[in-house]
């Protein structure tokens, strides 16, 4: 009986350990799918060369400069490097930084980190992202401090509590979750007024200036349903091609600051949901050049 009891305990322990390992693998897999797809943190946090191309071996090591009138932001190193990255941060501290915009020392993180959207990221997805961040290679790359010529608020809102998953069964709702909390398309494609995104009047209407090199600044496109200045006249297939291939209907290639290289790995169902949501975005006349 003792042998059977011991064997039973060992079997139960192995079952538990297997379940824990499976859960960890699932978290990392979901995190990899998000980070290398719709969330695309590397689009800002990967180190870029002079022409805006990613530098090999510098995934999430930071260093890009984003300059607007109210601030000059230096994108931080978010690899697990203990000295120059976030390796010394706890999982809870990383989640607080992502969703509440607050560092472990209590200081507030400023824009353009999209806190207004990340606050809506579900608990399971933000945990998956942390699991992915834990296993990327640590890179020693010290990045300086950002400069803000605007007053930062005491906080970006009350502390984020528990956030439920958005069901993929509701295609438009899930598409909105991808365009907001996950992909923050709404922030990249909405212009700023006095350091604040003009979500009330020009959501998704483009016009945000993105410096991608020492002498090159791009302006984001209008992706509302306006037929003249937005994408209202584009077919679903053309919108999908722009998202996943970086190609306009006229065949012109979008600049790689549009993270189509990341979006190409999204499932067809997720791309369909994103397009379905974009079809619901109200048209805004805003000719972007």
148 contact partners, CB below 8 Å, separation of at least 6: 70, 71, 110
Q: What is the pTM of this model?
A: 0.86
Q: What is the CA radius of gyration of the chain?
A: 21
Residue 8's pLDDT band (boundaries 50, 70, 90)?
Answer: low
Own/partner long-range contacts of 253-259 (Cβ < 8 Å, ≥24 apart): 255/52, 255/212, 255/218, 256/52, 256/53, 257/43, 257/52, 257/210, 257/212, 257/218, 259/40, 259/42, 259/43
CATH of 167-289, one of 1.10.760, 3.40.1350, 3.10.129, 1.10.287: 1.10.760
- For residue 132, the 8-state DSSP code is H
Tokens linked to 39:
């969330």
Residue 193's pLDDT band (boundaries 50, 70, 90)?
Answer: confident
User: What is the C-alpha to C-alpha distance for residues 239 and 245, in angstroms, rounded to an integer?
Assistant: 10
20 vs 110 pLDDT, higher one: 110
User: Does residue 125 contact residue 94 with C-beta atoms inside 8 Å?
Assistant: no
pLDDT at res. 168: 95
pLDDT for 35-92, tens place per residue? 999 999 998 999 988 777 789 999 999 998 888 788 899 999 999 999 999 999 999 9
Residue 17's pLDDT band (boundaries 50, 70, 90)?
Answer: very low
Residue labelled with tokens 């090159």: 216
Longest dimension (CA), the chain: 80
Span 170-180, average pLDDT? 97
pLDDT at res. 14: 47
Tokens linked to 196:
């604040």
């Amino acid at each position: 009986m003792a042998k059977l009891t011991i064997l039973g305990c060992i079997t139960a322990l192995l079952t538990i350990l297997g379940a824990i390992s499976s859960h960890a693998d699932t978290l990392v897999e979901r995190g990899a799918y998000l980070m290398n797809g719709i969330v695309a943190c590397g689009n800002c946090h990967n180190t870029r060369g002079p022409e805006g191309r990613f530098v090999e071996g510098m995934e999430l090591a930071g260093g890009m400069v984003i300059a607007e009138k109210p601030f000059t932001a230096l994108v931080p190193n978010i690899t697990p490097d203990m000295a120059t990255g976030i390796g010394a941060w706890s999982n809870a501290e990383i989640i607080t930084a992502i969703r509440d915009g607050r560092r472990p020392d209590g200081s507030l993180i400023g824009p353009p980190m999209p806190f207004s959207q990340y606050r809506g990221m579900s608990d399971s997805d933000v945990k998956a992202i942390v699991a992915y961040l834990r296993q990327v290679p640590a890179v020693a790359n010290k990045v300086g401090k950002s400069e803000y010529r605007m007053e930062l608020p005491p906080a970006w809102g009350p502390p984020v509590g528990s956030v439920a998953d958005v069901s993929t069964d509701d295609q438009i709702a899930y598409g909105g979750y991808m365009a907001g909390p996950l992909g923050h398309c709404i922030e990249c494609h909405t212009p700023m007024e006095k350091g604040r995104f003009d979500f009330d009047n020009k959501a998704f209407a483009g016009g945000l200036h993105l410096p991608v090199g020492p002498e090159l600044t791009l302006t984001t496109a209008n992706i509302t349903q306006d037929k003249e200045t937005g994408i209202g006249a584009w077919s679903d297939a053309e919108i999908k091609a722009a998202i996943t291939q970086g190609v306009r209907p006229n065949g012109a290639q979008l600049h790689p600051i549009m993270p189509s290289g990341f979006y190409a790995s999204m499932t067809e169902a997720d791309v369909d949901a994103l397009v379905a949501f974009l079809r619901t975005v109200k048209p805004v006349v805003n000719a972007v050049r």
